[in-house]
Amino acid sequence: MRRELTRREFLRCASLGGSAVAAPLLIPASVLGRNGAVPPSERILLGGLGIGGRGTSVLNWMLRETDVQFVAICDAKKSSRNAVKKLVDTRYGNTDCATYSDMRGFLATRTDIDALLIATGDRWHALASILAMRSGKDVYSEKPSAMTIAEGQAVVETARRYGRVYQTGTQRLSEANFVFAIESARSERLGKVHTTQAHIAPWDAAEMRHDWLPAEPEPPKEELDWDLWLGPCPWRPYNSAYVAGRWRGHYDFHTSCVGEWGAHTFAQSMAGIDALNTSPVEYEYVNNPTGDGMVTVFPKGVKMVLSRGNQWWKGSCGMRFEGPEGWVSVADGYKQPEVSSPALLQDFKKIVGNYVARTGRPMNHVRDFFNCVKSRRLTVANPEVMHRSMTAVHGANICMWLKRNMKFDPVKEEFINDPEANRLRSRAMREPWII
C-alpha cells in the first residue's frame, strides 16, 4: 500500500537531497588559491628519473617551491625509487607519489607531468632528456649533461624541435658570488679579460679505464634492472661497485676529471668572456695525466686554462678572471669573492642587483627553471649553453687522449684536418638505447 508523505518527511528528504547537490560547491580554499596556496591550474607537476644522492639534494630544493608538486619517480633501482617516494610522501603527508621502474612506460603513460628532474648517472643524461622532451616534458638535467659532442647536438636539436624548456644543473650560474665574478669580467671592470682559470676535479685522470669490473651475480630484476641501469653504454657484467657510484673513472660511464667539474666551471668561465655561443678553437696538449695546465683558446683570443689545484682559489668548482686592471676569484664556500683590490667589491650588491633587473633571473637555479616552464623563455643554462661548454670538455678530453694540439671549428663543430679526433665526437650506443 502507498503511504502519503507527511510534510515533515518531505522537507527532510528534500534537505538531504539538497545537501548532496550542494556538497561539491564547498571547495577547499587551497583549490581557489586562497591563504597563499597555489591553485592546481598554476602548479607544475614534476616527476623524477634516477634520483640518488645528488638528485635528492636537488629534489629537496625543488620541493620548497610552492607551485611545484612532485608526483612520480622512475628508477631502475627499487631502493632508490622507494626512498624518493618516502621523502615525497612525508613532505606532502600522503601516499600519492607513484613509482615506476621503466622510463618507457613512465613517459608514455604520465602525460599529466609537466617537467622532469633527471639525475641519473652521466651515461643517461642526454638520452633521458631527449626521450623526455619527445614525450612533451620540460627537463632539468644534472651535469655533465652530454657524454659526447654528438649527444649535446642532439639535445639542442630536440629542445628546439619540440619547443621544450631545458636547464642543465650548473647552478653556480645562479649564485650571487659567481654572478658577481662573471659580471665583473663581462663589464670590463678588470679591463679586457685575457685569461680565465677553470677548475677541474682534483682526482682521477683524463685518461680513463677501458676495462671493466669482474662479474658478480645480478640481483633480482625487481630489485635492480641491470639492462636499464646500463642504458646506452656497452654491455658490461654486473658489479655492485658500479651501482654504488664507483663508475667514475671508467670510459663507458664518465667524462673524466675534466668533465666532473669542468661541466660547471667551463660554463662559468665562458659566461664571463661572452663565449657561451661558441667553443674553444685551440687545445694545447699538456704532458701530464690530468690536463692540469692545458690552455684552450677562444675565437677572440681569450685563454681558458684548466687548473686542478687551488693556487687560484680555495674550495670546489673555482674560477678566476684576469685582466690588465685586476682579477677576481671565487669558489664554493666563499663569503665573498677574492679580488685584486678591495674597491672591486664595493659595488657587489649593485652589480648582482643590476644583473637580476636586466635579465629577470632569480638567484635560484631551480626557480629560474620553473619560471621558464611557465613563461617558455630560455633558461640561464639552456641547451646551447650546456652543449657549448660540454664541447669544451670533450675537446679537452680528446686532446689529452690523442696527446697532441688540436684546432676546432665551432661553426662546423669539427676538428680541423683531424679525422681521428672527429671520430671521437660520438660514441656507439647500445640498442635499443639510441638517439
Cα dist from 192 to 133, 221, 287, 339, whole Å: 39, 57, 30, 16
Residue 350 grid coordinates = 649593485
Q: Is residue 306 part of a domain?
A: yes
In the numeric block, the cell 664595493 is attached to 346
Name the pTM for this structure: 0.91
3-class SS at 145? coil
Q: Is residue 223 part of a domain?
A: no
- The model's pLDDT over 317-355, given as tens digits with 9 standing for 90+, comes to 999 999 999 999 999 999 999 999 999 999 999 999 999
Q: From 119, 146, 171, give the residue that closes a domain.
A: 171
* Residue 188 and residue 332 share a domain: yes
Q: How many domains does the chain have?
A: 2
- The model's pLDDT over 286-303, given as tens digits with 9 standing for 90+, comes to 999 999 999 999 999 999
- The model's pLDDT over 18-69, given as tens digits with 9 standing for 90+, comes to 444 444 444 454 444 555 567 788 899 999 999 999 999 999 999 999 999 9
Going by C-alpha positions, the residue among 300, 301, 264 that lies closest to residue 392 is: 264
Distance CA 145, CA 72 (A): 22
Range of the domain at 154: 40-171
- The model's pLDDT over 210-250, given as tens digits with 9 standing for 90+, comes to 999 999 999 999 999 999 999 999 999 999 999 999 999 99
CATH number of the domain that 118 lies in? Answer: 3.40.50.720
Sign of the Cα pseudo-torsion (313, 303, 170, 103, in order): negative
Going by C-alpha positions, the residue among 143, 145, 148 that lies closest to residue 130 is: 145
What pLDDT score was predicted for residue 220? Answer: 98
* Residue 416 and residue 290 share a domain: yes
* Residue 155 and residue 185 share a domain: no
pLDDT at 72 over 80: yes
Q: How confident is the model at residue 266 (pLDDT cuts 50, 70, 90)?
A: very high
Distance CA 70, CA 200 (A): 33
Q: Is residue 74 part of a domain?
A: yes
What pLDDT score was predicted for residue 351? Answer: 98
* Residue 151 and residue 84 share a domain: yes
* Residue 188 and residue 75 share a domain: no
What pLDDT score was predicted for residue 36? Answer: 59
Q: Tell how strand 115-118 and strand 319-323 pair up.
A: unpaired
* Residue 416 and residue 313 share a domain: yes
* Residue 133 and residue 179 share a domain: no
* Residue 401 and residue 267 share a domain: yes
What pLDDT score was predicted for residue 422? Answer: 98
Cα dist from 186 to 22, 307, 392, whole Å: 62, 21, 20
Report, as an integer, the average pLDDT of 116-128: 98
Q: Is residue 371 part of a domain?
A: yes
* Residue 71 and residue 141 share a domain: yes
Helices (H) and strands (E) in the chain, counts: 14, 15
What pLDDT score was predicted for residue 193? Answer: 98
pLDDT at 17 over 70: no
If residue 45 lies in a helix (H) or strand (E), which one and from where to where?
strand 44-49
Distance CA 49, CA 51 (A): 6
Tally the C-alpha atoms within 13 A of residue 38's C-alpha that lie toward its C-beta.
Answer: 12
Q: Using an 8 Å Cβ cutoff, are 212 and 230 in contact?
A: no
Phi-psi group of 291: left, alpha or beta (phi > 0 → left; psi -120 to 50 → alpha; rest → beta): left
Q: From 123, 148, 171, give the residue that closes a domain.
A: 171
What pLDDT score was predicted for residue 187? Answer: 96
What pLDDT score was predicted for residue 19? Answer: 43
* Residue 288 and residue 190 share a domain: yes
Annotate 95-138 with DSSP letters as a single string: S--EEES-HHHHHHH-TT--EEEE-S-HHHHHHHHHHHHHTT-E
What pLDDT score was predicted for residue 41? Answer: 80
Q: Is residue 30 part of a domain?
A: no
What pLDDT score was predicted for residue 40? Answer: 81
What pLDDT score was predicted for residue 35? Answer: 54
* Residue 103 and residue 128 share a domain: yes
What pLDDT score was predicted for residue 33? Answer: 53
Q: Which residues contact 285 (CB under 8 A, 6 or more apart)?
A: 294, 399, 400, 403, 404, 405, 406
What pLDDT score was predicted for residue 14? Answer: 46
Q: Is residue 100 part of a domain?
A: yes
Q: Using an 8 Å Cβ cutoff, are 144 and 396 in contact?
A: no
Q: How confident is the model at residue 309 (pLDDT cuts 50, 70, 90)?
A: confident
What pLDDT score was predicted for residue 169? Answer: 98
Neighbours of 13 (CB within 10 A): 11
Distance CA 435, CA 429 (A): 8
Q: Is residue 245 part of a domain?
A: no
Neighbours of 146 (CB within 10 A): 31
* Residue 178 and residue 166 share a domain: no
Q: Is residue 1 part of a domain?
A: no
